[in-house]
Amino acid sequence: MKEKLKKISENIYELPKESKMLVPGRIFVSPGLLENVEENCIQQLGNVAQLPGIINYSLAMSDVHSGYGFPIGGVAAFDIDKGVISPGGVGYDINCSVRLLQTNLKVKDVKNMKEIAHSLFRTIPSGVGRNSKLKLSEEELNDVLKQGTQWAVKKGYGVENDFRHTEENGCLTGAEPTAVSQRARARGKNQLGTLGSGNHFLEIQEVEEIFDEKTAKVFKLEKGQLTIMIHCGSRGLGHQVASDYIKEMENQYGIKNLPDRELVNAPIKSELGKKYLAAMASAANFAFANKQIITHWIRENLKHYFPKIKAEVVYDICHNIAKFETHEVNGKQKELLVMRKGATRSFGPGRKEIPETYKKTGQPIFIPGSMGTSSYVLVGTKKAEELTWGSTAHGAGRVLSRTAAKKQFTPEQIKKQLQEKNIIIETNSMAGIVDEAPQAYKDVDEVVRVSHELGIGNLVAKLKPLAVVKG
């Protein structure tokens, strides 16, 4: 499939429209990154281009790799009357997302980093199947699914600024708890405020470099500052929602005419399509509330060490979500359903969806590196709205599967690598972090460089990892 790609301009390659494709595919990568893009990934790009109602292009960001149905890093926009909604375009971990906290601490003033990291590890439940200290009633769970971050703040687990600085104000509209199965509810009920496993993490970082002083000042970031990044999602609840609706769509609409059964879908305006979107929004709100509870516990924990600590939310950004948004199509503003699977929103100045704080700059974007490598803060742009439906990359992106990583590396190697970089690691299982080895991921510096050069997410700051907590 790679041989079919045509270079359109620097860092942009096109998969020409052919066979049953309704639109061309476009992939935003450098020649170096393209070398590591799997053939299956290009095939998935072309498969998405066959879905009914797709507008303009099937897109893939610079961190693209193979996923379920859509490639991870995939973005597609659909006509709401003719288009479809596919759980494969959202992902199993609905609203897996990243939140950044900026603090009033300078790293040079923190003398007990190892103790703090261990304390946070003990405070925030992490790992497969780990349950929360917070026990929800059925009625409270309904409120979480409807209200997201706003529920948590109302309950005293934060302040208004927390949801004001969260995508969608921390509450995706259209949520309907009755669309979430009892099995999904049971899986999520005791997991609010938990980190989970896999590539999810809590990381203490230092602002190492500022690229855009003016924007960094608006984001309240400065060199030498301590920041905390949280990466997690909707846990077992979101995974079960995806599983439930994939099965329902298969039963109702079948897979016979699909290029890939993993792209099973329903018309956006069908009863099943609307029901999935309501369940997806509920799971997204669970994920928002999940990070809010974690944020509250981080603040409470750090107060033991720094009584005057301030840890404010810079932003909280989704990367496995479908949303109704207005974009320009053929010179006219049109409401579309945009699916971002392992891709983040990148809206420029003036968009109504972004907080007042960032109206003049554009929204913050976070692109975390792999464990042990730097993460980046970027800012959204008008250029992204023109090229990618206001989207950019969401992380480094894998180059090795988890199975392959386990065959190539040992826990001892990973631990030694982190120690050599003076990075503290807190985890339930060293064996379990091998599949998150830095070598299993693309070069995040290159992923971010492509975004910046294309102007679909511009560099603001570089964050250096100091301590990481993983399941």
Chain segment 206-234, per-residue pLDDT in tens: 999 999 999 999 999 999 999 999 999 99
Structure confidence by residue, pLDDT tens digits, 386-415:
999 999 999 988 777 777 878 888 888 888
Residue 317 lies in a domain: yes
* pLDDT-derived band at 440, boundaries 50, 70, 90: confident
Q: Which residue has the higher pLDDT, 199 or 449?
A: 449
Residue 113 lies in a domain: yes
- DSSP 8-state code for residue 62: E
- What pLDDT, on the 0 to 100 scale, is given for residue 139? 97
- What pLDDT, on the 0 to 100 scale, is given for residue 400? 77
Residue 90 lies in a domain: no
The domain that holds 350 is classified in CATH as 3.90.1860.10
Please check the confidence at residue 253 and state whether its pLDDT lies above 90: yes
Residue 206 lies in a domain: yes
CB 51 within 8 A of CB 263: yes
- What pLDDT, on the 0 to 100 scale, is given for residue 304? 96
Asked which of 174-183, 427-436, 450-459 is least confident by mean pLDDT, the reply is: 427-436
- What pLDDT, on the 0 to 100 scale, is given for residue 470? 86
Name which of 314, 365, 363 is nearest 100 in CA terms.
Answer: 314
Structure confidence by residue, pLDDT tens digits, 10-31:
999 999 999 999 999 999 999 9
Question: What is the rounded CA–CA span in Å between residue 16 and residue 219?
Answer: 40
* pLDDT-derived band at 178, boundaries 50, 70, 90: very high
Tell me the percentage of the chain whose pLDDT exceeds 90. Answer: 86
Residues facing 463 on adjacent strands: 207, 375
- DSSP 8-state code for residue 381: B
The helix/strand/coil state of 421 is coil
Please check the confidence at residue 438 and state whether its pLDDT lies above 80: no
Count up the domains in the chain and report the number. 1
- Range of the structural domain that residue 123 is part of: 2-80+97-470
- From the list 65, 231, 394, 452, the catalytic residue is 394
pTM: 0.96
Instruction: Report helix angle 271-303 to 182-189, nearest 10.
Output: 10
Residue 12 lies in a domain: yes
Please provide the average confidence, as pLDDT, over all residues in the chain: 95
* pLDDT-derived band at 273, boundaries 50, 70, 90: very high
Residue 86 lies in a domain: no
CB 60 within 8 A of CB 313: no
* pLDDT-derived band at 130, boundaries 50, 70, 90: low
Residue 89 lies in a domain: no
Residue 91 lies in a domain: no
Catalytic annotation on 394? Answer: yes
- For 35, residues 6+ apart whose C-beta sits below 8 A from its C-beta are none
* pLDDT-derived band at 129, boundaries 50, 70, 90: low
